[in-house]
């Protein structure tokens, strides 16, 4: 409650508004957070999802969930990933598989990802989020921060149909219209620019 009051005050003082198009029945999805060009994005993203009552989770190393970092990590919505082999001699699972396994473990899970993978300029996004959604059979929600409109929210939901190129073109078309804080640090994935 106290956190939400602070969040509302931050948004009111800075002139930000919310636009939540995530259907309330969606309790499991991969949530993209973009553009990601500055550390301020984390603050506004966390505040926005809290105010919209969207309980996003962020993956981190399982070791960060232990004392002394654990309580802070959990309060930020972190969820630990253990990528060590299950049996001796087995290969370490990929990050995609580890994230898919979390969807098997949790009934309700909205997993926040930043597919740009950096706050610096890049024309390639990491597409693991798409493979996680397909393998876990969950939709991809398009979370955003539009600094020109001072609007934070969820723009639309994509249900991966198996045609990765088509689905990613739809995602990139959406983010192409969003204004980041530092435009010089943002690009959609040009491989999927329709």
pLDDT of residue 29: 98
Closest CA to 59 of 99, 101, 2, 117: 99
CA distance 194 to 188: 11
- pTM of the complete model: 0.89
Pick the more confident residue, 179 or 75.
179
pLDDT, tens digit, 9 for 90 and up, residues 34-49: 999 998 898 889 899 9
What domain range includes position 32? 2-192
Residues 6+ apart with CB under 8 A from 131: 96
pLDDT, tens digit, 9 for 90 and up, residues 150-186: 999 999 999 998 899 999 999 999 999 999 999 999 9
CA distance 48 to 154: 10
Pick the more confident residue, 89 or 163.
163
Domain count, the chain: 1
Question: How confident is the model over 79-108, as a mean pLDDT?
Answer: 86
Q: Tell me the pairing of strands 140-146 and 151-158.
A: antiparallel
Contact call for residues 173 and 194 (beta carbons, < 8 A): yes
Question: How confident is the model over 106-128, as a mean pLDDT?
Answer: 93
Residue 101 pLDDT greater than 80, yes or no: yes
């Amino acid at each position: 409650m106290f956190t939400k009051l602070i969040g509302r005050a931050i948004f009111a003082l800075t002139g930000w508004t919310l636009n939540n198009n995530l259907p309330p029945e969606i309790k499991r999805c991969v949530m993209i957070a973009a553009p990601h060009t500055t550390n301020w994005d984390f603050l506004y993203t966390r505040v926005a999802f809290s105010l919209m009552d969207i309980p996003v989770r962020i993956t981190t190393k399982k070791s960060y969930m232990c004392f002394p970092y654990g309580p802070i990590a959990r309060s930020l919505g972190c969820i630990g990933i253990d990528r060590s082999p299950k049996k001796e001699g087995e290969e370490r699972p990929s990050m995609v598989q580890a994230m898919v396994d979390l969807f098997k473990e949790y009934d309700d899970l909205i997993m926040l990802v930043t597919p740009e993978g950096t706050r610096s300029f890049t024309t390639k996004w990491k597409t693991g989020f798409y493979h996680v959604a397909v393998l876990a059979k969950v939709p991809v929600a398009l979370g955003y921060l539009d600094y020109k409109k001072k609007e934070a929210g969820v723009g639309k939901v994509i249900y991966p149909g198996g045609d990765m190129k088509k689905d990613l073109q739809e995602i990139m078309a959406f983010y192409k219209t969003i204004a980041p804080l530092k435009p010089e640090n943002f690009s959609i994935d040009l491989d999927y620019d329709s």
